[in-house]
Each structure stands twice: as C-alpha cells, then as structure tokens.
C-alpha cells in the first residue's frame, strides 16, 4: 500500500480562524496529542509573525520527537532566520516557505512580475537550505495559477533545493476532477518531480476540501495537509480525521495507508474543540455527536439485528469509548493517578492534587463521572499557566424571579491578586452576568455568539459554555465548564477576557468595589 504523509496545520492554518487565540501551553498540549494521533508533520505556527508564535514553535520543536515539526515563513531572509532560531532544536528541522503564484496575487498583493516571483522563490529556497535539511515550498493560490508558470517555478525551486512541493487551493475554488488533473499535469511536466514529495493543501469554501485532497492523492500527491475538525480561515481546511478514516474504511478502493493512530481521533478532536472553543457540529462526519446515532425506527431495528446494516464506521475505531469508569467519590488518589496516566496525561504532583480536588468536588455532586469529564478536568490542569495575567472567578450570584429584574454579582480575582466585586442587571440571568463582567473591560464589547452544551449525557452532566466576544473589534473566544450553566457562562466570559488580555496586554477594568484578597 502506498504511504500518504499527514501534515497537520491545526496550530497554524487552523489557528488563523477568527477568534481562536491559543496560548503556548495550549498549543503544546495540542501538539503532544497530534504526535499521539500520528501526524507525520506538525506545523506548529508562523515563528516570525509574533513573539508568542515564536515561543510556541520553539517549545513544540524541543518537545515533540515522533513527528517532524515545521514552521511557516514568507520568502524572506528575516523570516527564514527567525524560523531557524525557533526550529533548530527539533529532531528533524523542517521549514515551510511560501510565495503566491496566481496572477491576481502577484499583481495586486505582491506587486511583482512573474519573473521577479521566480527569483524571490528561488533565493528563499536556496537560503532556507543553508539551515534546513528539508524545505517545503508552497505556491500560494496554486490552483488559480497558470499551469505552465507553475511548471516553470517548480522546476527552479527544485533545483534550488526544495524537498517538498505544496500545491494549495488557497481559496477553496477547485473541484476534485480539476485538482486531480493539476497534480497529474505537474507529475508529467515538472523535471525532477519524482525526487520531491508532492503535497495537497485544500480549503473548504465549496465544501470539497476532503474530496479534493483525495483526488490529489489519487493523482500522485504523497502528502496531504489539513486540520483537526477542519478548522481554519473562512470555511476551514480539509478535516484530517475525515481523510484518515475515509482512506482506512475504503482501503479496498484506494489502497493507501496513512500511519494515523485512528484510536486517537476522538480525543484529538475533543481537545482541539475544547481549547479553541470551536464547537463541532453534531452531524460532522467521524467526530460529530450524532455521527454514530441511529434515530429512525427502521434504522434502529436493522442496527440491533446487525450493526453493519447501517454502520460503516464503529465508534470504537476512533477511540470513542462507551464503557463506564470505575471511578467515583470513594476512589483514592492512587487510582485517580493511574487513570490520568492511562489517559496519557503527565501531571506533576501539584497539578495532580489540584485535579484530584476538582474530581472530589465533582464526584460529590455527580452520580457517574465519565471519561469525558476526566478528560476536561485533566486538560484544564495541564494547560494552567502559572504566571499569566488572568482573572479568576471567585463567586457568582444571580437573583432571578419572573417578577424581578435579574441581578448578578460577581467576585473575581484580578491579575494583581486583588478581589474585585461587580454587579449589574440584565433582561435575563445570563445577560446580567455578562453585563456585570463587561465592567472588567475598558473597550467596547459585543457578544457575537454564545452557546451552552452538555459534556456527556444525563441530567447532572457538566455544562460547557462558549462565548464569542468582540472587544474593540478584536474577536476572542472563551470557553469553560461547570456543573451549573450560569457558572460555566461566567467562567467562559472571563476566559474570553483573559485571552484578549494575553493577546493585547491591554489595560482592563473600571473597578467598582475592590477588597483585599
């Protein structure tokens, strides 16, 4: 079977989605999970774009060992040098350098002639090869480029030392037949194409990213790029879990293998959703809540007689475990620690103790603790950053009655360590909480989206709230969980403020009442 390399760009192209703003600890957690998932290459970020991205790429490069770690660079010396500084500690340093090749991008964005673009690309690749043993060159907006021009520029970047050639459908305009034909054309016309790896990178604007990626593989691509849950700018990128499972389930037809650890799909998807705040649509293929639910009577009847009547993928295949946990409120710290290790978490003693305390609190209120609950609990500890300037919720109190004006009072620990108490009214309980917390922000706040879902099943399930805010025009997504949805909503709103704060380091709050902590 032909091997297809999986290039994951959740932390670069995926993180470019509006409102997603992961900190270094969160990116590192995702990268470690992508390593378990079996991604061949992890694109950890764009080192020259910000000090935060640089730091994250460097930490990931120094930590991840079983996947190649790469970073994105524009075709300029300073970007390549910065990327080298971030990536030099990696097991196999790899650079991804790109330059646009379509007429519209060259004329309006780059304001360069095609000849100039060829020269810049060649110089960038040559310079990158001075540092990096492997260099991927991407022709941004390749699909809308002139095919003969693509052949010319690719011929030259291969001579300059590129080891991987990526052909992105940057704006998601391609159809499978056309995208496949472009790969076939390049395979037949580029000199030395067999010495390099050809890669596909598809966006999902017309809903065809996965189909286009597979068409590219059928026509010679040996690497496919995408993100977990298909997150990314606009309509997102090709969803890697869909590609991996499609190639697995239909290996009879395609005959390709990816080396992806399918058992890690569910957990990888959950982690990315949890940390980015991007909720997975219920009917999303492979990882949606309803992907394995059989509703209609006829389907249920057939399924009960023989699962295969209506089920082509089992939840077990993607690591969606259904067995109950043997952990409850009487479990000891030892069993809890074992469970953390089995689930792949490496928490230090302090974090483990904290997680155990949270677990005990939850077990007091919830009859059955599920693996999903534990996953959220462990992840929250794992990503807790000690020295970041954040607000922490201390207390939230809401007065609500059908005949009263809802009023919320919130106490939060400020980044300085002081406790601030604020209060406000609203048309409903949630609005009262949000109006209260808005007083912590100096800028103009708009609520773009707000959702509450349950984690797992049952009336005592944890509630997860996601709040999408715009603060002075900057979008910030916050997310958190609690057993009470009002508490989860308050924590999610604070989380959005915290993320904004970390990004902009902007001054916050007009204090109302301050007391000593």
CA 170 from centre of chain: 18
Q: How far apart are CA 219 and CA 302, in angstroms?
A: 38
Rg (CA), the chain: 25
- Given ligand KIV, Zn ion, none, residue 138, with its beta carbon under 5 to 8 Å by kind, binds ligand KIV
Query: DSSP strand E in 305-444: where?
Result: 392-399, 407-413, 419-425
| Phi–psi pair at 99, nearest 5 degrees | -155, 140
| Listed ranges 124-132, 164-172, 352-360, 478-486: which one lies at the site for ligand KIV (CB under 6 A) | 164-172
Nearer Cβ to ligand KIV (12/351): 12
Residue 212 binds ligand KIV (CB under 6 A): no
User: What are the CB-based long-range contacts (under 8 Å, 24+) for 103-107?
Assistant: 103/144, 103/145, 103/146, 104/141, 104/144, 105/140, 105/141
Note whether 201 and 229 are within 8 A (CB).
no
Nearer Cβ to ligand KIV (26/141): 141
Q: How far is the CB of 46 from ligand KIV (least distance, A)?
A: 9
Q: How far is the CB of 112 from ligand KIV (least distance, A)?
A: 17
Among 365, 363, 415, which residue's Cα sits nearest to residue 385? 415
Residue 53 binds Zn ion (CB under 5 A): no
Report which secondary-structure segment, H or E, holds 416.
Answer: none
Residue 320 binds ligand KIV (CB under 6 A): no
Nearer Cβ to Zn ion (13/372): 13
Q: How far apart are CA 385 and CA 501, in angstroms?
A: 14
Q: How far is the CB of 314 from ligand KIV (least distance, A)?
A: 33
Note whether 267 and 13 are within 8 A (CB).
no
Q: How far apart are CA 266 and CA 488, in angstroms?
A: 23
Nearer Cβ to ligand KIV (9/268): 9
- Integer angstrom CA distances of residue 113 from 101, 105, 168: 10, 10, 20
Q: How far is the CB of 194 from ligand KIV (least distance, A)?
A: 22
Q: How far is the CB of 227 from Zn ion (least distance, A)?
A: 9
Q: How far is the CB of 170 from ligand KIV (least distance, A)?
A: 4
| Phi–psi pair at 63, nearest 5 degrees | -105, -45
Q: How far apart are CA 146 and CA 138, in angstroms?
A: 15
Nearer Cβ to ligand KIV (161/236): 236
Nearer Cβ to ligand KIV (203/479): 203
Report which secondary-structure segment, H or E, holds 60.
Answer: helix 51-63
Residue 138 binds ligand KIV (CB under 6 A): yes
| Listed ranges 11-19, 59-67, 69-77, 121-129: which one lies at the site for Zn ion (CB under 5 A) | 11-19
Q: Which of 7, 84, 98, 183 binds ligand KIV (CB under 6 A)?
A: 98
- Integer angstrom CA distances of residue 14 from 9, 18, 53, 253: 6, 10, 13, 30
Residue 13 binds Zn ion (CB under 5 A): yes
Residue 13 binds ligand KIV (CB under 6 A): yes
Site for ligand KIV in 184-203 (CB under 6 A): 201, 203
| Listed ranges 151-159, 163-171, 392-400, 490-498: which one lies at the site for ligand KIV (CB under 6 A) | 163-171
Q: Which of 58, 170, 199, 227 binds ligand KIV (CB under 6 A)?
A: 170
Q: How far is the CB of 405 from ligand KIV (least distance, A)?
A: 49
Residue 266 binds ligand KIV (CB under 6 A): no
Residue 168 binds ligand KIV (CB under 6 A): yes
Nearer Cβ to ligand KIV (72/243): 72
- Integer angstrom CA distances of residue 165 from 138, 223, 384: 6, 10, 38
Nearer Cβ to ligand KIV (172/406): 172
Residue 34: DSSP 8-state? H
Nearer Cβ to ligand KIV (68/170): 170
Binding site for Zn ion (CB under 5 A): 13
Binding site for ligand KIV (CB under 6 A): 13, 72, 98, 138, 140, 166, 168, 170, 201, 203
């Amino acid at each position: 079977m032909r091997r297809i390399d999986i290039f994951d760009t959740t932390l670069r192209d995926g993180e470019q989605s509006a409102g997603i703003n992961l900190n270094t600890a969160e990116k590192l957690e995702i990268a470690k999970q992508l390593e378990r998932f079996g991604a061949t290459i992890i694109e950890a970020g764009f080192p020259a774009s910000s000090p935060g991205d640089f730091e994250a790429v460097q930490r990931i490069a120094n930590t991840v060992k079983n996947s190649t770690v790469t970073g994105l660079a524009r075709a300029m010396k300073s970007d390549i040098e910065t990327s080298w500084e971030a990536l030099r500690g990696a097991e196999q340093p790899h650079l991804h350098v790109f330059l646009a090749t379509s007429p519209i991008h060259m004329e309006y964005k780059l304001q360069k002639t095609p000849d100039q673009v060829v020269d810049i690309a060649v110089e960038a690749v040559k310079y990158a090869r001075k540092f990096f043993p492997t260099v991927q060159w991407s022709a941004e907006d390749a699909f809308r480029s002139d095919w003969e021009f693509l052949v010319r520029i690719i011929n030259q970047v291969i001579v300059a030392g590129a080891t991987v050639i990526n052909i992105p459908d940057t704006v998601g305009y391609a159809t499978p037949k056309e995208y496949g034909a472009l790969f076939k054309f390049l395979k037949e016309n580029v000199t030395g194409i067999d010495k390099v790896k050809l890669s596909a990178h598809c966006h999902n604007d017309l809903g065809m990213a996965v189909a286009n990626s597979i068409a590219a593989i059928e026509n010679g691509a040996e690497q496919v790029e995408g993100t977990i849950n298909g997150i990314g700018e606009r309509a997102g990128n090709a969803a890697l879990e869909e590609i991996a499972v499609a190639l697995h389930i239909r290996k009879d037809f395609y005959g390709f293998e990816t080396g992806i650890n399918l058992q890690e799909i569910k957990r990888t998807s959950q982690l990315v959703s949890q940390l980015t705040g991007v909720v997975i649509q219920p009917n999303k293929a492979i990882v949606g809540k309803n992907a394995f639910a059989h509703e209609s009577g006829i389907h249920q009847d057939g399924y009960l007689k023989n699962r295969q009547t209506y089920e082509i993928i089992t939840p077990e295949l993607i690591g969606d475990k259904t067995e109950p946990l043997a952990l409850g409120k009487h479990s000891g710290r030892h069993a809890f620690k074992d469970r953390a290790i089995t689930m792949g978490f490496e928490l230090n003693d302090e974090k483990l103790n904290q997680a155990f305390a949270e677990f005990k609190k939850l077990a007091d209120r919830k009859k059955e603790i599920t693996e999903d609950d534990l996953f959220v609990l462990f992840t929250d500890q794992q990503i807790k950053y000690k020295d970041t300037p954040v607000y922490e919720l201390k207390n939230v109190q809401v007065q609500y009655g059908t005949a009263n004006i809802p009023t919320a009072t919130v106490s939060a620990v400020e980044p300085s360590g002081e406790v601030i108490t604020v209060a406000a009214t609203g048309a409903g309980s949630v609005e009262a909480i949000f109006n209260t917390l808005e007083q912590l922000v100096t800028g103009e706040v708009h609520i773009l989206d707000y959702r509450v879902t349950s984690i797992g099943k049952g009336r005592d399930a944890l509630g997860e709230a996601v709040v999408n805010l715009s603060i002075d025009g900057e979008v910030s997504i916050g997310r958190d969980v609690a057993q009470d949805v009002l508490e989860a909503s308050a924590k999610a709103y604070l989380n959005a403020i915290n993320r904004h704060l970390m990004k902009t380091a902007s001054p916050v709050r007009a204090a109302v009442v301050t007391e000593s902590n």
